[in-house]
Amino acid sequence: MRKLMNFKVKGIQNRSRAGNIRLKLTKDPMPPCKESRASITAGDFKPSPPKEPPKRTASHPKFHKIKMLEQSSQPPPRNDSLSQAFKLVSSDDGRQKIEGLNIIQKLSVTKPQLLNSNLKDIKVAVNKEVSGIRLDVSLAAINCVKSLFSQLKSSMLDDLDECLMGLLLKAGKSTSTIMRKVDKALSTALESLTPECVLANFPTIALTNTNSAVRECAAKFFRLSVEQMGASHILWSAWEIKKKVLPVISTLVEDPIPEVRQHGLILLKNFRKHPSFLDIMVKYVSPENMAALRKIIFEEGVPKKTAPKEPWQSEAVWQLLNLSENLSEMSSFRDEIPGSLCGWS
């Protein structure tokens, strides 16, 4: 019995020693650290940039490049309505031609981007119908050109000289109805484009055409373009514009038809007001034309720039002076007006 009690006491002592050893081996827990307050800046609230998606590589890169090259070489796709318009315009029936031109005119308002991708083919087809023989088809084609100018604007700069030449040639072969339509189409082109672009692409060959109606229409359109740009602006512009405009003026003033010559004389009158007009004109006009131009300016009475007249300096005063028969009345009237203005000593 005594042995059993000793054995239990030893077991309890051994277990207590083992517990003390475990307590010594374990470290004391660290006290909690104080929270540090970091300064918050505005940059902390900025959103992070989006992650770029990984680039996808084709399974067959060489085949993919070849396919892309084939697609770029193909012409742009055409809409069904545009394809139908080309088909109708190319037919021999006049009604179908008018229907096709009307479709192109409607597409210029509703889908101008579609026409821009096929604009060269459209210009060729429409210009061909403008110069056609059928009156109703030509009217529809001229209206179509007018709509193209008003809607596409600067996209019509390519081959602009061909479009203008087709309209000008049609003016010399048609009735007054066609000529009015041509004038409206040309004025629309001048409103939609800048006068610099119109003058740079102006077909000067139309001014030397054998048909006087073509020359008259071309001279009128040329004069309107020059007046819109301004004489002083042209004389101080780039040499390309002066090289194209100034020789044309010298050609117009020598035209045998009065209806054509009057447009040149109007332009010459406006340009003559510029002080360095003749000095600039010599650089761009041949000596023969320059001699004829000087003759017109100084002998035929193209007026120079004069100071504005005073209110009392009217034509009635000069008529009274020239038509008065009584010298006494004339002398009394002479005392009222300064002699330097009347040319008296």
Question: Is 96 found in the same domain as 155?
Answer: yes
Q: Do residues 246 and 142 share a domain?
A: no
* Residue 67 in domain: no
Cα-flanking dihedrals φ and ψ of residue 215, to 5°?
Answer: -65, -40
Share of the chain above pLDDT 90, in %: 40
* pLDDT, greater one: 190 or 308: 190
In a domain, 26, yes or no: no
**Structural domain ending residue among the three candidates 141, 157, 192:** 192
Instruction: Indicate if the pLDDT at residue 14 is higher than 80.
Output: no
Does the pLDDT at position 17 exceed 70? no
Question: Mind listing the pLDDT tens digit for each residue in 288-313?
Answer: 888 888 888 776 544 444 333 444 33
Same domain, 139 and 210: no
Please check the confidence at residue 86 and state whether its pLDDT lies above 50: yes
Domain boundary, last residue among 192, 221, 245: 192
Instruction: Kindly state whether residues 152 and 209 are assigned to the same domain.
Output: no
pLDDT tens figures, 207-234: 999 999 999 999 999 999 999 999 888 9
- pLDDT at position 44: 53
* 35 lies in some domain: no
Distance CA 212, CA 39 (A): 89
Residue 299 lies in a domain: yes
Same domain, 294 and 200: yes
75 or 245, higher pLDDT: 245
Query: How large is the average pLDDT for residues 273-300?
Result: 83
* Count of domains for the chain: 3
CATH of the domain at 271: 1.25.10.10
Q: What end-to-end distance do the CA atoms of the chain give, in Å?
A: 172
The domain boundary, picked from 166, 192, 218, lies at 192
As a whole number of angstroms, the distance between CA 268 and CA 246 comes to 10
Contact 211, 172 (CB under 8 A): yes
Q: Is residue 144 part of a domain?
A: yes
3-state secondary structure of 79: coil
220 and 260 in a single domain? The answer is yes
250 and 342 in a single domain? The answer is no
Enclosing domain of residue 296: 194-306
Say whether pLDDT at 177 is over 50: yes
Q: What is the pLDDT of residue 74?
A: 43
**Is pLDDT above 70 for 337?**
no
Per-residue pLDDT of 143-176, as tens digits, reads: 999 999 999 988 999 889 999 999 999 988 768 8
Q: Does residue 213 sit in the same domain as residue 254?
A: yes
pLDDT of res. 229: 92
Residues 175, 240 within the same domain? no
- Whether 254 and 330 share a structural domain: no
pTM of the full structure: 0.63
Report which of 169, 93, 160 is spatially closest to residue 130, judged by C-alpha positions.
169
286 occurs within a structural domain: yes
Sign of CA dihedral 228, 233, 239, 242: positive
Q: Indicate if 322 and 235 belong to the same structural domain.
A: no
Q: What is the pLDDT of residue 279?
A: 86
Q: Within a domain: residue 50?
A: no
**Is there a single domain that holds both residue 105 and residue 179?**
yes
